[in-house]
Amino acid sequence: MRFGARLALAVTTLAVTATACGAPQDSGSRSRTTVDCAPYARYGEHPGTTVTVYAENRDREADLFEETWADFADCTGIHVSYEGDGEFEARIQVRVEGGNAPDVAFFPQPGLLERFARDGRLKPASAGVAALARQGWSADWNSYATVDGTLYGTPLVANVKSFVWYSPTFFRDKGLAVPRTWSELMALTEKVAASGVKPWCAGIESAEATGWPVTDWIEDVLLRRQGTRVYDQWVAHEIPFDDPRVIDAMDTVGSLLKNDRYANGGFGPARSMASISFQEAGTPVLSGDCAMHRQASFYAGLWPDGTEIGPDKDVYAFLLPGADPASRPVLGGGVFTAAFADRPEVRAFQEYLASADFANARMRKGPFVSANRGVDPANAATPVDRLSIQLLQDPRTQFRFDGSDLMPASVGAGTFWKGAVDWIGGASTRQVAHSIERSWPGR
Amino acid sequence: MNGVRERLASRALTTVAVLIAVLWTTPTLGLLLSSFRPEAEVKTTGWWTVFGAPHLTLDNYGEVLSGAGNGSGRLAEHFVNSVVITVPSVLFPLVLAFLAAYALAWIDFRGRDALVVGVFALQVVPLQMALVPLLKLFSEGWLFLPAWHLTGPARFGQVWFAHTAFALPFGVFLLHNFLAALPRELIEAARVDGASHRTLLLRIVLPLARPALVGFAVIQFLWVWNDLLVALTLSGGTAETAPMTVRLASLAGTYGNDWQRLTAGAFVAALVPLLVFFSLGRHLARGLLAGSVKG
């Protein structure tokens, strides 16, 4: 028994110490005098209340969010309890089914928001939030969070996807200029290939989402070659997935990505991109083994530590050009906030998130792009964020949302991804497009 | 002749066993070495290059454990949560399963066999199936049971409850088989001497059942310590209550680009199970055999 008694004692001590250490410390006691509460007066006082937030962003990005709304929390008395989860899309459904829905969720896909709105789980946006939404965002942006004419939330984050990352040093050394039209881009590609460097690098491995970088490529090129009308029809399935115009866009992408002469710089033959993770796919740009990498603005955070971003630094990005120098087709994505509760403190928090103040404060903390009209590009943390915001605010820009996020999930997050992998692996364009078309639900 | 063949066979077997052990441990060794390498090297070269150019650093561990800046690991906070979750989640089912196993093995009552079969059969219920109903029970109540409405650190209670409930069928099964195999004469002799159930339980059965109890405790400990699903769903996922596994899952960042931290994080998380395993491994081997051979 002596052994057992000692074990029991040890365990009890451990548990008691642990509970003592784990007791919540009063961290909300930051002196109010150091914070200027005047900008937050309009949100009212809600002492002792809690708003739970559930989103995909975790680690560093989660910290940046929490730091941004810390003053708001101090001044209004609302405790914002944030939870970031990589399995957001699967687990939000478990939580909502189980009656444990968060007060506010950040939806990375409009389709998911729409599903909960149709199920009657989401609360429509309050009058205050709706007013801020109209003031801050274009009708296009608000339409992504609108279901059957009812607004449910506001855009939070914007991603510009149509960027081509390159090394300004490499371009200078080789005497290359940033292309302003699609044909200049093609000429540039050929010129780099002729000099013995593979011009493009890409990687499409992304765990269960493997394939998505290729779907972005195809969407981007379709938007450029056929314009917004055909793009919208394709996304809404008013024209079939394997329409000849879509096949043409895919073949154009294929002439770059499925071409061993043009890809996969720094990694090997073109089909190697199926096993390269999208996170590391751009690194050969730094070593000069690859000239260009098409990836969204968020790739700014994925370069190795110490990489400097700017027009005359290690890496920079240009907009994937359109047919002529004046056109600005931009493919992008976004994250939307919506609420499962409509308590006063939840509405206050939503209003804060919908304000330009929040977006500006968040941008000063680190890389972040918002499509809010009130955002000042000068606050952008990186030159690419500034470029993104300028593009989003430019009236000539034709912004279109990432099509695969708007298509039914079984296609946009299923057969389109899988088809993209097969296609890179050698399957013919026609065959892949037909099989995706056949998988469209309710066809 | 027989002796030679046996010796040869055992030598061959030993070689194969050692070979498998080496193969099995190599990736872990690689991970361990990687955890001491600087980020830039982890991401560019394989762990074996460390033998050629040893640049060792504790940066990964420092970053993962504490660190005040953005995006540091802060595993230390979650380590405490892991302990708070694990200890009761081991003790509750241990005590309950022991009492239940004793009753099922040595107290005669009507319907006992059906109850035993019923408890055993519960083992086939997959945990994943019960998550949504459990969440509903906690948030909305069920039949006459009220909703729990737990917030903050009180949510540990949900996790303890779930782990206890999921551990009981296996615990009762394991301990029942072990206790039922105790010699009948021993129990009966004690009864003849006038021992009550209390005395029997504490003086006779408990000391005898120690290997099985420790075995079950270690298995349950490892299961709870390594559990992600239950903790993720029921603990709330904030720094207040989430255990280390939840933190580990998000350690690599939203885009998975900080994966070098996982090397150090994995070893921080594995430290306690390793200690438990090495200090109680002796009992575990015995406990694993518990109830496997009857009579």
Domain locations in chain A as residue ranges = 41-159+333-394, 163-332+399-438
Nearest CA in chain B to A12: B87
Across the interface, whether the CB atoms of B250 and A86 are under 8 A apart is answered yes
Q: How far is B79 from chain A (nearest CA, A)?
A: 9
Tell me if B254 and A1 make a contact (CB, 8 A cut-off). Answer: no
- The answer to whether the CB of B33 falls within 8 A of the CB of B47 is yes
What confidence category does residue B232 fall into, taking pLDDT thresholds of 50, 70 and 90? confident
Query: What letter would DSSP give residue A415?
Result: I
pLDDT at A22: 41
CB pairs under 8 A between A and B: 109
Q: pLDDT tens across B85-138, in order?
A: 999 999 999 999 999 999 999 888 898 999 999 988 888 888 888 888 888 888
Q: What is the mean pLDDT of residues B38-43?
A: 80
Q: What is the chain A residue with the closest CA to B152?
A: A24
Give residues 6 to 35 of A whose Cβ lies within 8 Å of B.
11, 14-15, 18-19, 21-24
Distance from CA of B202 to the nearest CA of A (A): 10
- Whether B131 and A304 lie within 8 Å, measured CB to CB: no
CA-wise closest residue to A177 among A295, A294, A307, A321: A321
Measure CB to CB from residue A95 to each of B39, B135, B207 and give the nearest one: B135
Cβ of residue A284 closer than 8 Å to a chain B Cβ: no
Cβ distance of B135 and A100 shorter than 8 Å: yes
pLDDT at B64: 81
Band (pLDDT 50/70/90 cuts) for residue B285 is low
Report d(CA A19, CA B81) in Å as an integer.
Answer: 8
CB-based contact B71 A63, cutoff 8 Å = yes
Quote the CA–CA distance of A335 and A344 in Å, as a whole number. 23
Under CATH, what is the fold of the domain B75-288? Answer: MetI-like fold (1.10.3720)
DSSP reduced 3-state for A93: helix
Nearest partner of B73 among B271, B242, B289, judged by Cα: B242
User: Distance between alpha carbon B53 and the CA centroid of its chain, in Å?
Assistant: 38
- Tell me whether residues B138 and A305 touch, CB distance under 8 A: no
Q: Which of A353, A333, A355 is nearest to A345 (CA)?
A: A353
C-beta atoms of A24 and B153 within 8 A: yes
pLDDT for res B4: 67
Average pLDDT per 10 consecutive residues for chain A, totaling 443 residues: 46 46 42 73 91 88 90 93 85 87 91 89 94 91 91 93 95 93 94 93 88 94 93 93 94 93 90 89 92 92 86 93 90 93 94 94 90 91 91 89 88 91 93 94 78
Residue extent(s) of CATH 1.10.3720.10 domains in chain B: 75-288
Could you tell me which residues of chain B have a Cβ less than 8 Å from any Cβ in chain A? 39-40, 43, 70-71, 80-81, 83-84, 87-88, 91, 131-136, 138-140, 151-153, 207, 210, 232-233, 236-238, 240, 249-258
Asked if the model's pLDDT at residue B254 lies above 90, the reply is no
pLDDT score for A31: 45
Longest pairwise C-alpha distance within chain B: 74
- Fold that domain A41-159+333-394 belongs to in CATH: D-Maltodextrin-Binding Protein; domain 2 (3.40.190)
Chain A contacts of B250, Cβ < 8 Å? 58-59, 62, 84-86
Give the model's pLDDT for residue A366: 85
For chain B, how many helices (H) and strands (E)?
A: 14, 0
> Which residue is it, tokens 């109540």?
B141
Placement of tokens 């506010």 in the chain: A104
3-state secondary structure at position B258: coil
A152: alpha, beta or left? (left if phi > 0; alpha if psi -120 to 50):
alpha
Whole-prediction pTM:
0.79
CB-neighbour burial class of residue A265 (10 A; exposed 0-12, middle 13-18, buried 19+) = buried
Nearest CA in chain A to B206: A1
CATH T-level assignment (fold) for domain A163-332+399-438: D-Maltodextrin-Binding Protein; domain 2 (3.40.190)
Helix (H) or strand (E) holding A332: strand A328-339
Q: Dihedral of the CA atoms B60, B65, B66, B69 (nearest 10)?
A: 50
A4 in reach of chain B (CB within 8 A): yes
Cβ contacts of B201 on chain A, cutoff 8 Å: none
What is the least distance, in Å, from the CA of B258 to any CA of chain A?
9
- What is each CA distance from B210 to A56, A97, B204, B217, in whole angstroms? 45, 42, 11, 10
Which residue from A minimizes the CA distance to B229? A91
Structure tokens at B189: 């002799």
| B139 contacts A98? CB cut-off 8 A | yes
How many angstroms separate the CA of residue B223 from the nearest CA in chain A? 17
- Please enumerate in sequence order all residues whose Cβ is within 8 A of that of A203, keeping only pairs 6 or more positions apart, or say none: A213, A264, A267, A273, A276, A277, A278, A279, A280, A281
Q: Closest Cα to residue A298, out of A266, A244, A273, A335?
A: A335
Higher-pLDDT residue of B70, B195: B195
**Candidates B83, B95, B276, partner chain A, best to mutate (most A CBs within 10 A):** B83
Shortest Cα distance, chain B CAs vs residue A61, angstroms: 7
Long-range contacts of A134-142 (CB under 8 A, 24+ apart): A135/A373, A135/A374, A136/A354, A136/A355, A136/A356, A136/A372, A136/A373, A136/A374, A137/A371, A137/A372, A137/A373, A138/A371, A138/A373, A138/A399, A140/A399, A141/A334, A141/A371, A141/A399
Whether A56 sits inside 8 A of B81 (CB atoms) is: no
User: Rounded to 5 degrees, what angle do the CA atoms A375, A300, A174 make?
Assistant: 120
Residue of B nearest to A66 (CA): B70
User: Which runs of E-coded beta strand occur in A146-196?
Assistant: 146-147, 150-151, 153-160, 163-166
Residue ranges of A 342-401 with Cβ closer than 8 A to chain B: 366
Fold matches, A41-159+333-394 and A163-332+399-438: yes
Write down the pLDDT at residue A7: 47
Short-list A105, A100, A116, CA closest to A82 = A105
Residues 34..63 of A with a Cβ closer than 8 Å to B: which? 50, 54, 56-63
Test the B interface: residue of A12, A26, A100, A302 with most B CBs within 10 Å: A100
pLDDT band with cut points at 50, 70 and 90 for residue B289: low
Mean pLDDT, all residues of chain B? 84
The answer, for A186 touching chain B at a CB cutoff of 8 Å, is no
Q: Output the pLDDT for position A17.
A: 44
Q: Do A83 and B207 lie within an 8 Å CB cutoff?
A: no
- Cβ–Cβ under 8 Å, residues B137 and B234: no
Residues of chain B found within 8 Å of residue A1, distances taken between Cβ atoms = 207
Q: Angle at CA B163, nearest 5°, toward B162 and B166?
A: 85
Cβ-based contacts of B152 with chain A (< 8 Å):
24
- In chain B, the percentage of residues whose pLDDT exceeds 90 is 24
